[in-house]
């Protein structure tokens, strides 16, 4: 239905999409998730040609929409888009907003467009608002109208870019209800959303975007419950992450302690846990640095607000050796005292084959 091959979109200072290739099948409902700035909107906007791709090809059915001679209007008929900010015409009534494009672009009669428009308005629960103006409606109502307007063109695919994120929380539910119903109809949909419950409920596929493309894709269960890759896992578990790399024996010890304090402050970590996070770093580096060869030690602290647990991992160079076994070492006993859980593992990494995990709370 939609085929994307080596799509690249480059702006002057960033390249949100580096090399995206994917196929979207008829009836797929795809949720697109990922941190801000990872190209989620850009991907949708490239599919319906609101943005011109830098390179790569996109087909909608058998029409290559990236071909130079492609008729933009033809594409827009097939691919409908719902925006965060509704984009309704303020000087037109609700029913006019809905019937305009079908009459202009599909050439259907006024009566027919009206009948269909009213059917769609009733479907989104707003039959009685046909003659109102957008300004007279709440945000949730406006977005439901915007969805009805998109459906009026009977597109083959509907792209929704954060359709509920501009709404007052009390209105999210009514718009989500419409989206849930829509997803059940078998319409092909792609929705950028931060609402994980919605994504889980409606989609058969989830794209997690990062590092210039679709970093991981899977079913909602795979992505939300068993993510395979590091960044996906951090995102779906809403982990706060601090990375500190030590590249030299003369690293800035005080500067790093300060970075830890600032990071903990920013994430509202309790003073008690902050203290432990810093202590673990200090003791672990004291244990590992003398042993390691360059590139020495890579450390990451992940904090979960949900569970209140912070997890340090330290990867270090040198021979495969479990340094936490050195029981006569003072740092090891301090670390054991602080940790809820302390484990060592060997990893498949030539430079940093050793890894220690330390959980604290
Ligand atoms: N017209 C533009 N000109 C220059 N840079 C742009 C333009 N549009 C987007 N970008 C940049 O491209 C990157 C990706 O933007 P995009 O809007 O696709 O991200 P997103 O994943 O939708 O983020 P968010 O979750 O915040 O909506 C960002 O760094 C953004 O600043
Ligand atoms: Mg966006």
pLDDT digits (tens), the chain, 361 positions:
899 999 999 999 999 999 999 999 999 999 999 999 999 999 999 999 999 999 999 999 888 999 999 888 888 889 999 999 999 999 999 999 999 999 999 999 999 999 999 999 999 999 999 999 999 999 999 999 999 999 999 999 999 999 999 999 999 999 999 999 999 999 999 999 999 999 999 999 999 999 999 999 999 999 999 999 999 999 999 999 999 999 888 889 899 999 999 999 999 999 999 999 999 999 999 999 988 887 689 999 999 998 999 999 999 998 899 999 987 899 999 999 999 999 999 999 888 999 999 999 9
Please check whether residue 361 is in contact with residue 308, taking contact to mean a CB–CB distance below 8 angstroms. yes
The tally of CA atoms less than 13 A away on the side-chain side of residue 338 is 27
Contacts of 68 (CB under 8 A, 6+ apart): none
Which residues contact ligand 1 via a Cβ below 6 A? 11, 14, 16, 34, 36-42
- CA distances (Å), origin 185, targets 26, 89, 204, 235: 12, 27, 13, 30
Mutate to test the pocket of ligand 1, among 14, 32, 210 (most ligand atoms within 8 A of CB): 14
CB 260 within 8 A of CB 278: yes
| Domain end residue (candidates: 185, 205, 232) | 232
Identify the residue whose tokens are 């005080």: 254
| Chain Cα centroid distance, residue 274 | 28
Q: Which of 35, 36, 37 to mutate to test the pocket of ligand 1 (most atoms within 8 A of CB)?
A: 37
Residues 223 and 246 in one domain: no
Here the tokens at position 108 are: 């259907």
Q: What does the DSSP 8-state code read for residue 361?
A: -
Q: How many CB atoms lie within 10 A of CB 175?
A: 24
We report the CATH number of the domain holding residue 307 as: 3.30.565.10
Say which residues have a Cβ less than 8 Å from residue 178's Cβ, sequence separation at least 6. 123, 124, 125, 144, 147
- Where does 59-109 have alpha helices with state H? 72-78, 94-106
- Residue closest by Cα to atom 18 of ligand 1: 39
Q: How far is the CA of 197 from the centre of ligand 2 (A)?
A: 19
Q: Report how far ligand 1's centroid is from the alpha carbon of 161 (Å).
A: 12
Could you tell me the residue range of the domain that residue 351 belongs to? 237-360
Answer yes or no: do 343 and 216 share one domain. no
Closest residue by Cα to atom 3, ligand 1, is 11
Please identify, among 232, 262, 289, the residue that sits at the C-terminal boundary of a domain: 232
What would the pLDDT profile of 27-74 be if each residue is shown by its tens digit? 999 999 999 999 999 999 999 999 999 999 999 988 899 999 988 888
Q: Using CA positions, which residue lies closest to atom 29 of ligand 1? A: 37
């Amino acid at each position: 239905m939609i085929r994307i091959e080596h799509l690249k979109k480059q702006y002057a200072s960033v390249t949100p999409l580096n090399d995206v290739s994917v196929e979207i099948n008829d009836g797929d409902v795809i949720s697109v998730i990922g941190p801000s700035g990872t190209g989620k909107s850009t991907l949708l906007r490239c599919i319906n040609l609101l943005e011109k791709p830098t390179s790569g090809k996109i087909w909608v059915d058998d029409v290559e929409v990236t071909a130079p001679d492609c008729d933009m209007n033809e594409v827009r008929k097939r691919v409908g888009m719902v925006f965060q900010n509704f984009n309704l015409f303020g000087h037109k009534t609700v029913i006019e907003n809905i019937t305009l494009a079908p009459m202009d672009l599909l050439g259907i009669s006024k009566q027919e467009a009206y009948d269909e428009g009213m059917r769609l308005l009733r479907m989104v629960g707003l039959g009685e608002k046909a003659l109102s103006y957008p300004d007279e409606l709440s945000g949730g109502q406006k977005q439901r109208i915007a969805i009805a307007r998109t459906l009026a063109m009977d597109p083959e695919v509907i792209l929704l870019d954060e359709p509920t994120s501009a709404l007052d929380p009390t209105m999210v539910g009514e718009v989500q209800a419409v989206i849930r119903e829509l997803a059940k109809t078998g319409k092909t949909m792609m929705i950028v959303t931060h609402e994980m419950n919605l994504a889980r409920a409606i989609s058969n596929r989830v794209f997690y975007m990062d590092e210039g493309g679709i970093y991981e894709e899977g079913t909602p269960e795979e992505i939300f419950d068993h993510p395979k890759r590091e960044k996906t896992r951090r995102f779906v578990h809403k982990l706060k992450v601090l990375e500190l790399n030590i590249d030299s024996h003369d690293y800035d010890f005080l500067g790093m302690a300060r970075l830890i304090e600032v990071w903990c402050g920013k994430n509202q970590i309790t003073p008690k846990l902050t203290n432990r996070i810093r202590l673990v770093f200090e003791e672990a580096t004291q244990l590992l640095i003398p042993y390691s060869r360059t590139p020495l030690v890579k450390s990451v602290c992940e904090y979960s607000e949900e569970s209140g647990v912070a997890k340090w991992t330290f990867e270090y160079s040198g021979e495969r050796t479990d340094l936490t076994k050195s029981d006569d070492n003072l740092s090891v006993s301090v670390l054991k005292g602080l940790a809820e859980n302390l484990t060592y593992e060997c990893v498949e990494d030539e430079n940093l084959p050793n890894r220690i995990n330390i959980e604290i709370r």
